[in-house]
Each structure stands twice: as structure tokens, then as C-alpha cells.
Amino acid sequence: MKKRSAFTLIELVMVIVVFGIVAGIGADIVAALYENYLRTRAINRLQSQSEIVLEQIAKRLQHRIKNSVRASDDNGANWVALSSNAATKHFNTIEWIGISNESFLGKHNGISFVPGWSGLIDMNDTNTSHNTRTLSTPGSRLDFANEIIKALTDNTVAMDGTAGTQRPALFFKGVKAGIFTNYYVNATNVANKPYGRRVRCVGNDCTTYPDILQLHSNNAVDDLIDYNSDGNPNVYEQYYLSHSAYTLNLVNTGVNDFNLTLRFNYQPWEGETYGNGTEAVLAENVSTFRIRQDGDVIRMKLCIHDNNQSGDFDFSACKEKVIY
């Protein structure tokens, strides 16, 4: 009979020990790879989220009335022009009047796209009259603009009297540029010379009068204003139409942790503040939000942290954006 050799007990033990070491090293490698995957996935998610939020803000800020942008570091108790802030100033509230860009772009009339409002006043037209408080705006389709504004405001703002008492506002270009305070004065407070004048279609009929704007009512409260103090009410050749103001607000939810919210669909020219607006949370777990203005350029920085959602670690991803 042949002798058959076999592993000794010592050899078996050694093999088991080697396999254990290899398995331990492999487990550490797998764990490190998985942790690195979680980190990479979280960073990509936070970077994408930051980019999307900044893009949402930028789309609204690029259609701002530039001199209306103001800021507060005490939740709206006191305001300063954003352009006056120092590099080290930290604001928790930013507010601006938005140009109604959607209604400006208008609708398709079956042949081509027609703007809802042209932004121009024909000073020589007989329909531009202080007596009737009407302004001829050639090239406009106020019936289109009215439909779009009603849709955007959930039927709370209209130029035809079909959506409650709220009206859009007309802002003349060139009215004491740089004085932000008058953008937020109730239109009925003529003594403070508010820049926003409530407007409607003539007789609330946007179909019959698609290119004539009229101040809301025929009384001194809604009259044209003497902005330059020469004793005569002023009409300028260019204007903006607005249906809403907007506010960005940082809401503290913990230590160095905030929600960034957007308020919209409110009308300062109707006496409303951002507290009357619709609120939407743009981002949670915000660690940093900085905004400053240099000339007409606005610069923003947003950092969102992971808040331990991807494991026992927390880190931030930051993005910056410039709006002209």
C-alpha cells in the first residue's frame, strides 16, 4: 500500500490564519471603497442641488428692477440697498421687485409670438392723457399679458377686474434711480411718491383696449405723480410691468443650519409685505448663503451640507454664481 501524505494540523492552522488576514484586508478595502462611494455620491448630489437652487434664484434675479434690490440682517426690521453692503456683511433677507417677464414674452397669436406689453409709452398719442389717466403702449397685447399674470398668481392679480382687487404695477424707468425705499410704498400713499402705480385695462376690458393702460381708478389716490417736483405729473417713455415682488430668507433650523426659502406672489404697491407671499423652500441644510452687489452685478455663494445623511460624516458642497 502507498502512503498518502496529508496536511498537518499546523499547516491547516497557518492556511486559516492567512485566509483570515486576506479576508480582513479585503473587507477593509471594500469598506473604504463603499465609504468613498458614499462620499462621492453625496458631494455630487450636493453640488447638483446647489447649482439648481442658484439657477432658480438667478432666473428670477436677472429679471429684477435693479434699483429695487434691498437687504436686511434682522428679518426685515431695517433695510439697506444691497449695493451698499460691505464684503463682510451677512444678510438673512433679500427682497426685490420682479419684472413680469413671462407676461412680457406674451403668447402665440397663430402667426408669431406677440409680447404682452411692449415697455414703451407713445407720448404723442391722444390716448396718453393725464385727464383720463391712460397711457398708450403700442405693440402690446394686454389681453395676453392679463391671462398670463392671472395664471402666475393663481387668479389673485388681474387687469380686467376678474381676480379680486389686486392689480399689477407699472414702474416708469428713470424715476429717481437708486432710491429703493419708494419701490415698497403702498400705491395709495401719494405723499411718499411710490414708484409702483396700479394699472388695469381701460374699463377692465383688455380685449377692446389691448394697447392702452389705465391707472386703476379715477381719483387722486391713483393719480400720476410729480416725481421731479416741477408741479406737473410725470409720464416717462419707458416702463416695466410687475405682478410680484420676491424675497429670499434664511430660516434658522439649528446651529449653522438654515432653510433657504423664497417668497413670491405678493404686491408691495398694494400694501403687502413678504409675509403675505407664498413660501417655497428652495434648499434645506444650508450652511452658507452670501450675496453681494458690485455695480449692477450680483454675486451669490451657496453651501449645502450633508447633515450626516450618507454616513457618520458631514461635509459641504459650495457653488457660486454671478447675475448681470
Q: Are 57 and 149 members of one domain? A: no
158 and 256: one domain? no
Claim: this prediction has a pTM higher than 0.95: no
Task: Count how many domains the chain has.
Answer: 2
- Would you state the pLDDT for residue 216? 79
Residue of 58, 68, 72, 55 whose CA lies nearest to 242: 68
The pLDDT score that the predictor gives to residue 26 is 65
pLDDT in tens, 133-179: 899 999 999 999 999 999 999 999 999 988 777 999 999 997 776 68
Q: Are 261 and 248 in contact (CB under 8 A)?
A: yes
Which residues, other chains included, contact 56 with Cβ-Cβ below 8 Å and sequence gap of 6+? 262, 282
The residues, ordered by sequence, that sit 6+ positions from 317 with a Cβ below 8 Å of its Cβ are 43, 46, 47, 49, 50, 303, 304, 305
95 part of a folded domain: no
Q: Are residues 238 and 115 in the same domain?
A: yes
Q: Are 241 and 189 in contact (CB under 8 A)?
A: no
For residue 180, what are the domain limits? 101-242
- Give the model's pLDDT for residue 72: 92
pLDDT above 90 for 218: no
Residue 144 lies in a domain: yes
User: Which residue did the predictor score with more confidence, 61 or 307?
Assistant: 61
Is residue 298 a part of any domain in this protein? yes
- The answer to whether residue 25 sits within a structural domain is no
Residues 234 and 250 in one domain: no
Buried b / exposed e across 37-56, counting CB within 10 Å, b at 16+? Answer: eeeeebeeebeebbeebbee
For residue 21, pLDDT over 90 is answered with: no
- The pLDDT score that the predictor gives to residue 254 is 76
Rounded average pLDDT over 93-102: 96
Could you tell me which residues come within 8 angstroms of residue 90 by beta carbon, excluding any fewer than 6 positions away? 73, 290
Grid coordinates of 93:
433677507
Helix ranges (H only) for 175-312 are none
Residue 315 has pLDDT above 60, yes or no: yes
Model confidence at 27, in pLDDT bands (50, 70, 90)? low
Residue with cell string 404682452: 116
Q: In the structure, what pLDDT confidence band is assigned to residue 119 with cuts at 50, 70 and 90?
A: very high
| Backbone torsion region of residue 161, taken as left when φ is above 0, otherwise alpha when ψ lies between -120 and 50, otherwise beta | left
pLDDT score of 2 more than 80? no
Q: Which residue has the cell 428692477?
A: 65
Pair 134, 212: CB distance under 8 Å: yes
The mean-pLDDT minimum among 35-44, 261-270, 273-282, 305-314 falls in 305-314
Give the per-residue pLDDT at 186: 92
201 and 106 belong to one structural domain: yes
Q: How far is CA 265 from the centre of its chain?
A: 11
Residues 124 and 168: their CA atoms lie apart, in Å, by 24
Q: Which of 162, 180, 168, 146 is nearest to 65 (CA)?
A: 180
Summarize the confidence of residues 92-100 as an average pLDDT. 95
Q: Report yes or no on 234 lying in a domain.
A: yes
Tell me which of 127 and 189 has the higher pLDDT.
Answer: 127
262-300: pLDDT as tens digits: 999 999 999 999 999 999 999 999 998 999 888 889 999
Q: Supply the pLDDT for residue 10.
A: 72
Contacts of 218 (CB under 8 A, 6+ apart): 132, 133
Share of the chain above pLDDT 70, in %: 85
Note whether 224 and 255 are same-domain residues.
no
Residue 1 lies in a domain: no
The amino acid occupying position 81 is A
In a domain, 71, yes or no: no
Whether the pLDDT of residue 309 is over 70: the answer is no
Side chain identity, residue 261: T
Residue 90 has a pLDDT of: 76
Residue 62 domain-assigned (yes or no): yes
pLDDT at 23: 65
